[in-house]
């Protein structure tokens, strides 16, 4: 029961802090949708105007910029600051190189492992699973720890997961299940309510995922730098 009490408090506080930060910056609820629309527009433009190699390069650069923008504002929310669109220009470059370095490391890894996967296709799934676990806290590591190098970011993310994988994946697994349900529901809505229903569902899903992203930031801060034993000790000394 003590374990449940400790982590219920941690998760509850992270969620409360996330809601308070978003209330202070309610406009950020539209940020994920705005980035998604810009991304779809860019993908259409690149696909029709560029060859695969140059198009892929442009997409990676744009992806790094988009992630930089979102991480910048997430960092402001988790720091409980007031953020605004006047910071958009600054946000593009703040974590741009951090994300570009991550993509470069992943590209090198995929290039080196391509012959292995070609010879053993069954290794694709386990490798993808390892990546999803090892890189799960890359966004938080970048904007809360300020890591720049791809290897450094991945190493720190993996170290955090080694120490806190149970505490981290309990709420994240629950959210993943809700997202899957939401995606299934989202495929049904258009046939029932039409395009307006699909847009409404997309907006609700975007709001939900934004709250979740901010919650992850506060949870990362709560778990980072402490062990399960230390958290239990703090409860006993209350």
Locate the domains of the chain by residue range: 2-236
Write a three-state SS string for 68-92.
HHHHHHHHHHHCCCCCCHHHHHHHH
pTM over 0.75: yes
Residue corresponding to tokens 């590591």: 141
Residues 232, 43: Cα–Cα separation, whole Å: 48
Q: How much of the chain is helix, strand and coil, in % rounded to 5? A: 90, 0, 10
Which residue did the predictor score with more confidence, 196 or 4? 4
Which residue did the predictor score with more confidence, 192 or 60? 60
CA distances, 11 to each of 7, 169, 211, 219, 225 (Å): 6, 12, 13, 7, 16
CA distances, 167 to each of 82, 136, 157, 171, 192 (Å): 29, 13, 15, 8, 39
pLDDT tens for each residue of 118-163: 888 888 888 888 888 889 999 999 999 999 999 999 999 999 999 9
146: left (phi over 0), alpha (psi -120 to 50) or beta: left
Which residue did the predictor score with more confidence, 44 or 24? 24
What is the per-residue pLDDT for 1? 64
């Amino acid at each position: 029961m003590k374990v449940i009490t400790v982590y219920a408090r941690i998760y509850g506080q992270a969620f409360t802090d996330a809601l308070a930060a978003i209330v202070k910056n309610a406009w950020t609820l539209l940020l994920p949708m705005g980035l998604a629309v810009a991304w779809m527009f860019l993908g259409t433009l690149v696909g029709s105007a560029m060859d695969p190699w140059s198009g892929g390069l442009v997409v990676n650069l744009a992806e790094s910029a988009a992630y930089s923008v979102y991480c910048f504002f997430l960092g402001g929310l988790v720091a409980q600051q007031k953020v605004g669109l006047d910071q958009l220009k600054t946000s593009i470059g703040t974590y741009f190189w951090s994300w570009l370095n991550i993509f470069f490391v992943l590209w090198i890894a995929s290039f080196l492992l391509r012959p292995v996967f070609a010879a053993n296709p069954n290794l694709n799934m386990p490798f993808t699973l390892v990546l999803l676990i090892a890189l799960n806290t890359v966004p938080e590591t970048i904007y809360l720890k300020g890591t720049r190098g791809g290897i450094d970011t991945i190493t720190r993310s993996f170290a955090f997961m080694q120490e806190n994988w149970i505490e981290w994946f309990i709420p994240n697994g629950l959210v993943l299940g809700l997202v899957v349900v939401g995606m299934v529901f989202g495929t049904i809505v258009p046939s029932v309510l039409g395009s307006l229903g699909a847009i409404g569902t997309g907006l609700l899903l975007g709001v939900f995922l934004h709250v979740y992203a901010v919650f992850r930031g506060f949870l990362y801060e709560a778990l980072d730098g402490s062990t399960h034993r230390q958290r239990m000790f703090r409860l006993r000394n209350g």
